[in-house]
Structure 1
Amino acid sequence: MNTQLNVLNVSQNHFVRGGSDRYFLSLGELLSQQGNLVVPFCAKSDRDQPSEWATHFPPAADFESPSVMDVVKFHYSAAAKNNLQKLVSGKRFDIAHLHIYYGKLTSSILPVLKNAGIPVVQTAHDYKLICPVYTCDRGGVPCEACHGKDYWRAVVNKCNRGSYLRSAISMSESYVSRWLGSVDAIDRFIAVSQFSATRMSENGIDPRRISVVPNFIDIKQFTPHTESGRYFVYFGRIERVKGILTLIKAFMKMPDIPLVVIGEGALLPEVQALAAESHNIRFAGFKNGAELYSMVAQSVASILPAEWYENCPLSVLESFALGRPVIGTRMGGIPELISQGEDGYLVEPGDADALCATVRTVWEQRGKPDMRQAARRKAEQEFSADTHYQRIRDVYDSLRGA
């Protein structure tokens, strides 16, 4: 039986804005359910979920209308450092688990944890460790030019929204963060895909300091449907790097096969205009929770046509849990999740014709239950909460000498 631990769970948001926030909160619940004491440490926000530890949350920089002082706080937060110092001085912690802490909390918190002698784990939800803008994407093309240390290249290439100023801020924050210990102060990095682990090690991080632990879902929240489905579904952000233009172009060539697009994002007006004359493509807007899962469960399959380095997308795990196969691209960590011809298919990114051919194959075979059953089985066996807890606990214990 595992010893109960006091875990400091650190992330910038105590509310759900994106997938990393969802994981951070879900992990906290999972650790608590297993008898551990979990203390969150996040930046203060009006959107925060209730927490008895909220009095320790520091104010964060204003990213909506930033002042010069906010730019300074983006690099170094004295409030985060001081509040964390008070928290760890009054409470013993066995482990600190970091998520996306930079930006709002900043690397100012790292020396506090090291001086307190707390083993530090970080889940790498994005590519911040090797890319100043976190995405390894430049103009829609994968890029690793900075090599985890040559951050000045982001300015030369205007990687942050095509702006020299924004890119310069990203560059300087990356140098300051590295100086404060964003690599050296972390005892173990958790990569959520082998792809991410390889990228990290190839960009200077010792592979012995990296453990691969995929994301997880609470399988009990998902009821698989046995029906064959009535349409294909995409759910996620409507952005160019997600391959949404390729997806729309593919379905414009298949007017007899319906597609439902769920989500919102900067590219939505453009793709709506592109698909304006197509009667088989429907935009459903943003959905979440039971409404989202019901719509996904009624699909033939979900499609993730990503054209950037997806890491371990929850949309694939959620589709599997609902008994829906997935058509994904050979990008990032996606191929690690999908077994070709068993619980989904893989196609080359940006290839609308290949996507068309695969969609039609799945559509014509939609009456067969094999792929739906295989998808659900994989979710139960590889991505359940119980499996995830043991993997995470193994990482914790390896640092504690347990």
Structure 2
Amino acid sequence: MLPTVLNVSQNYFIRGGSDRYFFSLGELLEKWGHQVIPFAARQPENCETPWAHYFPEPINFTSPSARDLLRFVHSKPAADALSRLLGEHRPAIAHLHIYYGQLTTSILRPLKEAGIPIVQTLHEYRLVCPVSTLMSADGQLCQSCNGKDFWQAVAKRCNRGSLSRSLLSAAELYYSHALGGVIDKVDRFITVSHFQRRKLAELGIPAHKMVTVHNFVDVSNIPVNPGKGDYFLYFGRLERLKGIFTLIEAAAPLTEVPLLIVGDGEAREEVEATVARRGLSHIRVLGPKRGRELQQLIADSLCCVLPSEWYENCPMAVLEAYAHSRPQIGADIGGIPELIEDGTDGLLFAPGDSEHLRECLLAMARDRRRAMEMGLAGRQKIERYFSQNHHYEQIVGVYNDLMGAKVPVPR
């Protein structure tokens, strides 16, 4: 019998790429015969699950009370809820994702007391940065905290320019390191890019506790798409660190090829206002799209664009573009160049450089046959290196190493 996996995240709904991976991993493990037990906060947006009665009440981040602020650092309700679940069910291993905000490091103690090995997939830099991004409030890459001096985030007001928010974020991380066991209690960290693993090691996370496993995409129901698309496409969070304004500047004079912007986020109103003020009628902000509607938008595009200006790790947007045989233009930063081979399955440009990005957009628009060929090369890359089977084999290898077991892997 295959081991039961406890799959843990603060959300049981999809808000971003880490949530999509949380659900995709659960589906992948179930496909191979594992029982998967989800554990997350109880929130109105949650998908339905028979395990919801074990979920703890959520923390109110919109209008937090004093109790909510204390629970942001240490959530006794989350620990109690998990203890109740573990008292009635016995997973063989726990796989954590982004759990800090709603669940906190309070959940680590019941897992350790039950003798359950803990794996965590790291989707960002929360272990070494109070705001998770290694960026300061002014949008600049930042390592001032150096993995331990979190007071620097308070001095710089890194959390949205707010002193109180920055103080709370720093306090949470100090507590997590000193008393929460955020590093010591986790048996293995899975980084999703080699860049992320190297950066975290540079900032003090023990290298021997980390292993890289890139994300994956299921292409079994996605046909190879040799067609030539009609527009540039950005899909993802609308935030400054995603380079969305660099993209608008690059695309502004390219009026013959539309740019579709799909997503939501803190910068959406500013994006819409910028497009309207400049009269950029060829740039359309469509808002959030999901499921088949998003897949169709990707499939019909000329190419997808990821203009990030922070240390992206293994962005699902690149893999999803390749899955639909679309080439990707990406910023040469973080883990993005691990996914894009410049000139083969996409193009790389200097982050923040709108002129360089414009040259890449023009290259795609002027040679659509070449763009199609690069998209097909991306699809081949997905099938070879980022498939379900390959990912399952790597994940089970991590589980086996910690459990001393030999779970069979596909061949």
Superposition TM-score, scaled by structure 1 size: 0.96
1:292 aligns with 2:291: no
Distance 1:10 1:268 in 2: 29
**In 2, are the aligned partners of 1:8 and 1:40 still within 8 Å (CA)?**
yes
Which residue of structure 1 lines up, in the alignment, with residue 94 of structure 2?
A: 96
| Residue 198 of structure 1: how far off its partner (Å) | 0.8
Q: Tell me what 1:361 maps to.
A: 363
Q: Which amino acid aligns with 1:394?
A: G
Per-residue deviation, 1:47: 2.3
Post-superposition CA distance 1:59-98 (Å, at most 9, x none): 1211111001100111111111112112223322211111
Question: Which residue matches 1:241?
Answer: 241
Deviation at 1:266, TM superposition (A): 2.6
Matches within 5 A, 1:2-401: 4-138=2-136, 139-178=138-177, 179-276=179-276, 277-368=279-370, 369-401=372-404
Specify the SS of the correspondent of 1:389.
helix
Q: Any idea what the Cα deviations from partners look like across 1:117-143, whole Å, max 9, x if unmatched? A: 111100001110110111111121111
The one-letter code of the counterpart of 1:148 is G
Aligned pair count?
A: 400
User: Aligned partners of 1:163 and 1:279: how far apart in 2?
Assistant: 35
Q: Secondary structure at the match of 1:229?
A: coil
Structure 1, 271-280 or 391-400: larger mean CA deviation: 271-280
Residues 234, 304 of structure 2: 8 Å contact kept: yes
- The answer as to whether partners of 1:60 and 1:73 remain within 8 angstroms in 2 is no
Q: Deviations over 1:273-331 (max 9, x none)?
A: 33332232222222111111111111111010111111111110000000000000011
19-28 or 340-349, larger mean C-alpha shift:
19-28
Deviation at 1:384, TM superposition (A): 1.4
- Structure 1 stretch displaced more, 267-276 or 174-183: 267-276
Q: Are the equivalent residues in 1 in contact too, given 2:16–2:237 (CA < 8 A)? A: no
Please tell me the residue identity of whatever aligns with 1:327. I
Let me know the Cα RMSD of the aligned residues: 1.3
The answer (yes or no) to whether the contact 2:239–2:265 under 8 Å persists in 1 is yes
The one-character-per-residue Cα deviations of 1:327-384 (angstroms, maximum 9, x if unpaired) are 0001111010001111001000111111111111121111244212101111111111
CA contact (8 A) 1:343 1:371 kept: yes
What SS does the aligned partner of 1:141 have?
coil
- Distance of 2:156 and 2:97 partners within structure 1: 28
How far 1:258 moved relative to its partner? 2.2
Secondary structure (helix, strand or coil) at the match of 1:349 reads coil
Deviation, structure 1 residue 13: 1.3
**Distance in 1 separating the partners of 2:45 and 2:267:** 26
Match of 2:101, SS?
coil
Helix, strand or coil at the partner of 1:339:
coil
Rounded to whole Å, the distance in 2 between the matches of 1:279 and 1:94 is 55
The residue type paired with residue 373 of structure 2 is D
Q: Which runs of 4+ in 1 moved over 6 A?
A: none
8 Å Cα contact 1:97-1:120 kept in structure 2: yes
- 2-structure distance, mates of 1:360, 1:122: 41
1:98-157 CA-to-partner distances (Å, cap 9, x unmatched) read: 111111111111111111111110000111011011111112111121122111111000
Structure 1 CA distance for aligned equivalents of residues 394 and 23 of structure 2: 17
Q: Quote the Cα distance in structure 1 between the aligned partners of 2:244 and 2:94.
A: 37
- The Cα of 1:49 is off from its aligned counterpart by 1.8
Compared CA separation, residues 258 and 48, structure 1 to 2 (3 A): closer
Q: Which range moves more in the overlay, 156-165 or 86-95? A: 86-95
Which amino acid in 2 is paired with 1:152?
Answer: W
Specify the code of the residue in structure 2 equivalent to 1:140: G
SS of the aligned residue for 2:23 comes to: helix
Unmatched 5+ stretches in structure 2: 406-411
Q: Is the 8 Å Cα contact of residues 325 and 372 (structure 1) preserved in structure 2?
A: yes
